[in-house]
Amino acid sequence: MESNDSEGKMSSSVGYKLVPWVNWDEWNYVRRSIFSSSPNLILAALQKISAWESRGCLPIAIDLTAVIIEIHQKDPFFRGVGSIGDALASEKMLNMLYCMFIMRLVNDFVEPVHKETGRSISDIADAIGIPRTLVDIRHESSHRCLPSLKLARSASAKALEWLKANYWEPQRIAVHDPRRKVKSRLREMILCSAARHVSRVNSTNPKRKYCKRTALLVACHKLSHINKRLLASKADVLTVQKVTKRAAHLYSLYPSEVVSLLLEIFLSQAWDFSDGIDMENSDDSDCNIFKQFTGSLPDLKMLITKLSKKKPRFLLNMLKLVLEMIEEKDSRNFEIDWNHFLSSQNQVQMNEVSHLRSLLTFLIRNLKALKDSGQIRLAEENQILSIDNVAAPKVLLSSLLHKCLTLLVPGDQNLFKSALLLSEMSGNRLLTEELKKLPLLAFLDQDLDPLATLSYNESMLLKEEDSIKKAEERLNLIKLHLLNDKNKGKRFTNNTADATTRWKVTKSWVACPIGTLPCSFSSTVVLPIFDFMEVEREMDKSKTTSDNVENVCAAEENRMVCDDNESSDDSNPVKMLKLTPQNDDSLALENPCPMQGRLLIGGVWKKVSENELLSLDADIRTFV
Amino acid sequence: MGLASLPPRQAPLVPQQWADALDAISTSRSPPIAVICGPKNSGKSTFSRLLLNSLLERYGIVGYLDTDVGQPEFFVPGCLSLHLVDECLPDLMKTPMREPERCIFSGDISSKRDPEAYINYIFQLYDYFLEKFNQSDDADSHRKALLPLIINTAGWVKGTGFDVLVELLKYISPTHVVQMRISVESKNLPTGAFWLSDKKRGSSELIELATVFNDSFNRSVLMRKNAHSMREFRLSDYFKRCFSSSLNISTNKELAHALASIPPYQIHFSQVKVMHLYCQVPKHEVFYSLNATIVGLAASSTVPTSSARCTPWCVGLGIVRGIDVKKGMLYVITPVSPCKLEKVDILFQGFIEIPTSLLQVRGCISPYMSTNVLHKLPEKDL
């Protein structure tokens, strides 16, 4: 496939290189922050770069950018209002800093070539576009005396421009390409399958159309005409095998992009089938693109099936992403429930979740097929390390089942089916039997359907209160028992308590690349998230000021994302927004202690009122 | 510095000059303390290995203080280590990895970044050796067998390295100083007792030896390139020890797979302290800095009491293979034995780069290995 040829003119490496950032989002965050006008963001970027530096493989261009930005932050001439830290008043010192920076810049980029080829410094600098002033300043300041501060300042600005033009911009383009490319490829593939689909339907039964799909079909029909012209014969020639092959290749190059984009397409299609609800929040330009080009659900599903046969890991990745999304959306729905009931937005959310749930069942059926054909193995809880079969991806059924069950809501046939399938796969007959009884419970709970409960609310509440009281009494009894047991046990266990070790070998572990964490249910890669540090810092009360800085950063980043005009290139606003899910809350800056009145719910710090806290407290007591 | 991967250097026929020197040192009255110095590739390692073998014949156990963090003799790069060797080296071209008696994590592959700390590390290891194995207190001189010590140095000839060497020689005042000399005079150390000012008369015996290899000047470029792969090889070799030999890991690929699959040790954030040796990292960026890097494992409780210098001893290296911030857990892979590991409460981070071969294996590529990385300048006219 031609996909990696187009970068021929970039001097990016073909193979893998060690980098200090965990993904390009992190790199892009630093790029946007360091060139922003906000002192807080700049500080955050500089701090991130210092973390990168400690890893030892920092590109020189980033190092130098950090240096010059830091100097600029110290120079009253460049400093913006609200800059952090003290300004450096001594012009002599500033001048020396600038000259040192310029010397390093010229030397770092020119010297290696100079040593290799023997060409003159100015010659090489000219060839790579380093302004002559910089070369002169390097020469003057190392051999004679320092130039004027004024000159050094303007030269430093030129140097920064050079760094931007020769590192940051080309690199940004180089890494943004894949996602775009993947998108266009996927679009093309789905379009082809859609075209086929339409022609098939048309030829067999030209007049019969499903009422629900009419709109889509018309669109597809139109498209197929347009694209037949566009793609000439390409669309017709593309067989299913070819599409799959291409998709598989694409996946091997850009796994995470393919998975997330496919899911996006799926969801955007799900929209079309839901009953004419307007697209809200259509800030997502990707979605719109796909909306125009949607194929049909069966085609997409077929692609998923075929692709997972070729690349079993793809299925696991997809599964993981779907589960995560359901979880995330569920928690969001729960939150909405508190505020306004059944708004249209809520409805949309619910729809999305139900589509995701149906997709989950489909994926798990595929998983079963792959397991039966031996392409995915089952992992044991306490597996012994062996080297030969690490290549085949594994799945830990019990954890996956657990995950499904936690997401199960009453009356959800899809997830129930998934769970049943999983327990059948595990071969645990007892479990399957138990699971089969579950729907009965769900049936009993059916009355709890949000719409119906409105009228019952009061009586229900009374009942609940009653049962809670009873539960509390029982809990207290258990507590008493436990306390007694503990006191008895203490005499005996005292000696063994010392034997507990601090360094333990992890009990269950699924193979995953170094630098990542294992997914709880399969050998899918989980990228680490390090920004939950708030938990740590909450304990460290003295650090509250830095929390505030963080909050300001989050807010400013949010603003920056909004008025980031380059977003036509920076094609992924969704992702950027994802970086700061707690934005609305973090705007409340006046709070001197930002953690106060917050609880970590579903990974997000949320404001919790006193009453809510009390009710939570009660819940906790009942569930202990 | 014989490496398996080097162009074949025939087994050294020990020249008469060398044989005499070996003889002189190993037959000296008291257990000798010998420092071997000289430029890179002058045969320091080879001589010290020969000396080790010849001292072993007489003493049974010989101390070996390895101060070359870039190309260590017995242990991993980034560590200064003191070894007690009790068996002859059968192959002078290749030394097996040995568990050190004591070791300090310097976290770098040269002494240049922080020479002062570096010298202190050497002194601390030396003091430890003196106290334990070479001091004849009146009280127990009868019981304690005194051991000889060989100190191998890196190729320090000029600048910071030279200063470090002078400090080292001044402090230790060894019984023997063996200086290797190569044919290119300008690359040699000064002759005589260069570490002493004129007024004093040193008690050290000075031995100057000509290198047996004439091609060292040409080879130096090659060596530099090799040093990097040699360090990666050493580190891979070290982490291979996490696995029983029955697993039969021979290739880097197999090792990378094995490292990805092995259940790591887990430890809670609160039970270890992360210390950066060479740079400042803001507290909230520590995990960004730590993930998927090599760290030195040290125990604060093991700080030597008798010495003025108090860097915690390092028990070995580990790979921070993952960090779970939600659970507050660090996941570390290390071959260090569980009983030694139990005391570890400090993770030192330096600049020991993790071998990239361990990060990129099909189906198991670390996120820190990235494609599309711009690493060259736009070469318009170059």
Give the residue-averaged pLDDT of A590-606.
Answer: 50
Domain range for B49: 16-229
Which residue of B372, B375, B376, B380 is the best one to mutate when testing the A interface, meaning the one whose CB has the most A CBs within 10 A? B372
How far is the alpha carbon of A507 from chain B, nearest alpha carbon, in Å? 7
Q: Could you tell me which of A422, A274, A287 has the C-alpha nearest to residue A349?
A: A274
List the single residue in A509, A517, A550 with the smallest CB-CB distance to B263: A509
Region of residue A185 (phi > 0: left; psi between -120 and 50: alpha; otherwise: beta) = alpha
Tokens of A170: 């080309």
The residue whose two tokens read 């045969």 is B43
Chain A residue with minimum CA distance to B337: A503
Same-domain check for residues B137 and B161: yes
Rounded to 5 degrees, what are φ and ψ at B275?
A: -125, 130
B109 CB-side CA count, 13 A: 18
Band (pLDDT 50/70/90 cuts) for residue A94 is very high
Sign of CA dihedral A349, A351, A355, A361: positive
Q: What angle do CA B280, B282, B287 make, to 5 degrees?
A: 105
The residue whose two tokens read 């719109």 is A288
Would you list the domain boundaries of chain A?
A: 15-174, 459-484, 529-624
Band (pLDDT 50/70/90 cuts) for residue A271 is low
Contact in structure between A90 and A67 (CB atoms under 8 Å)? no
- Is the confidence at residue A537, as pLDDT, over 50? no
- Is the confidence at residue A2, as pLDDT, over 70? no
Cβ <8 Å between A528 and B291? yes
B265 CB within 8 Å of a chain A CB: yes
> Can you list the residues of chain B whose pLDDT is less than 70?
1-12, 135-145, 198-202, 213-225, 303-308, 362-363, 375-382
Band (pLDDT 50/70/90 cuts) for residue A337 is low
Q: Given B190, B207, B229, which residue is the final one in a domain?
A: B229
DSSP H or E segment with residue A54: helix A39-55
Q: Could you read off the pLDDT of A350-375 as tens digits, one per residue?
A: 777 777 777 888 888 888 787 777 77
Cβ <8 Å between A516 and B367? yes
Domain at B334, CATH number: 2.40.30.330
List the single residue in A22, A513, A536 with the smallest CB-CB distance to B364: A513
Band (pLDDT 50/70/90 cuts) for residue A235 is very low
Same-domain check for residues B248 and B224: no
The residue whose two tokens read 């040829």 is A5
Band (pLDDT 50/70/90 cuts) for residue A495 is very low
Q: Could you tell me which of A464, A459, A456, A451 has the C-alpha nearest to residue A337?
A: A451
Band (pLDDT 50/70/90 cuts) for residue A497 is very low
What is the C-alpha separation between A307 and A301, in angstroms, rounded? Answer: 10
Segment among A140-149, A225-234, A518-527 with least mean pLDDT: A225-234
Band (pLDDT 50/70/90 cuts) for residue A598 is low
Pairing of strands B79-85, B102-105: antiparallel
The predicted pLDDT at position B373 comes to 82
| Burial tier of B296 (Cβ tally within 10 Å: 0-12, 13-18, 19+) | buried
Domain assignment present for residue B270? The answer is: yes
- Is the confidence at residue A249, as pLDDT, over 60? yes
The predicted pLDDT at position A415 comes to 74
Q: Cβ contacts (< 8 Å) between A16 and chain B: which residues?
A: 356, 360, 365, 369-371
B338 CB within 8 Å of a chain A CB: yes
Band (pLDDT 50/70/90 cuts) for residue A51 is very high
What is the C-alpha separation between A79 and A476, in angstroms, rounded? Answer: 62
What is the three-class DSSP state of B181? Answer: strand
Q: What share of chain A has pLDDT > 70, as a percent?
A: 55
Sign of CA dihedral B341, B347, B352, B358: positive
- Is the confidence at residue A619, as pLDDT, over 80? no
Cβ <8 Å between B279 and A512? no
Contact in structure between B166 and B37 (CB atoms under 8 Å)? no
Other beta carbons within 10 angstroms of residue B254's beta carbon come to 18
Q: How many domains does chain B have?
A: 2
What is the three-class DSSP state of A319? Answer: helix
The predicted pLDDT at position A425 comes to 75
Same-domain check for residues B193 and B266: no
Contact in structure between B156 and B122 (CB atoms under 8 Å)? no
Cβ <8 Å between B356 and A178? no
Q: Cβ contacts (< 8 Å) between B269 and chain A: which residues?
A: 536
The predicted pLDDT at position A384 comes to 46
Same-domain check for residues B84 and B178: yes
What is the C-alpha separation between B75 and B98, in angstroms, rounded? Answer: 6
Q: Cβ contacts (< 8 Å) between B378 and chain A: which residues?
A: 11, 128-129, 166, 170
The predicted pLDDT at position A410 comes to 65
- Round to the nearest angstrom and report the end-to-end CA distance of chain B: 37
Q: What contacts A267, CB < 8 A, 6 or more positions away?
A: A287, A352, A355, A356
Which residue of B330, B371, B376 is the best one to mutate when testing the A interface, meaning the one whose CB has the most A CBs within 10 A? B371
- Is the confidence at residue A573, as pLDDT, over 60? no
Rounded to 5 degrees, what are φ and ψ at A378?
A: -90, 135
- Is the confidence at residue A622, as pLDDT, over 50? no
Same-domain check for residues B209 and B258: no
Give me the residues of B, 281-310, that contact A with CB < 8 A: 281-289, 291-293
The residue whose two tokens read 């318009």 is B380
Same-domain check for residues B256 and B223: no
> Would you say how long chain B is, in residues?
382
How far is the alpha carbon of A391 from chain B, nearest alpha carbon, in Å? 7
Other beta carbons within 10 angstroms of residue A480's beta carbon come to 10
Same-domain check for residues B219 and B285: no
What string of DSSP letters covers A201-232? Answer: HHHH-TT---TTTHHHHHHHHHHHHHHHHHHT
The predicted pLDDT at position A212 comes to 42
List the single residue in B286, B373, B377 with the smallest CB-CB distance to A128: B377
Domain assignment present for residue B370? The answer is: no
Q: Could you tell me which of B355, B248, B72 has the C-alpha nearest to residue A18?
A: B355
DSSP B36: E
The predicted pLDDT at position B57 comes to 87
Contact in structure between B6 and B113 (CB atoms under 8 Å)? no
Other beta carbons within 10 angstroms of residue A275's beta carbon come to 7
ipTM: 0.87
Domain at B37, CATH number: 3.40.50.300
The predicted pLDDT at position A222 comes to 54
Q: Cβ contacts (< 8 Å) between B301 and chain A: which residues?
A: none
A274 CB-side CA count, 13 A: 20
Q: Which residue has the higher pLDDT, A458 or A282?
A: A458
| A606: β partners | A599
Q: Report pTM.
A: 0.72
Domain assignment present for residue B375? The answer is: no
Chain A residue with minimum CA distance to B269: A536
How far is the alpha carbon of A493 from chain B, nearest alpha carbon, in Å? 21
B358 CB within 8 Å of a chain A CB: yes
Three-class SS string for A19-41? CCCCCHHHHHHHHHHHCCCCHHH
Segment among A419-423, A573-577, B69-73, B261-265 with least mean pLDDT: A573-577
Same-domain check for residues B141 and B283: no
Same-domain check for residues B270 and B185: no
Same-domain check for residues B225 and B265: no
Mean pLDDT in chain A? 68
Same-domain check for residues B329 and B295: yes
Same-domain check for residues B184 and B134: yes
- Is the confidence at residue A381, as pLDDT, over 60? no
The predicted pLDDT at position A502 comes to 84
| Amino acid residing at A414 | N
Contact in structure between A520 and A403 (CB atoms under 8 Å)? yes
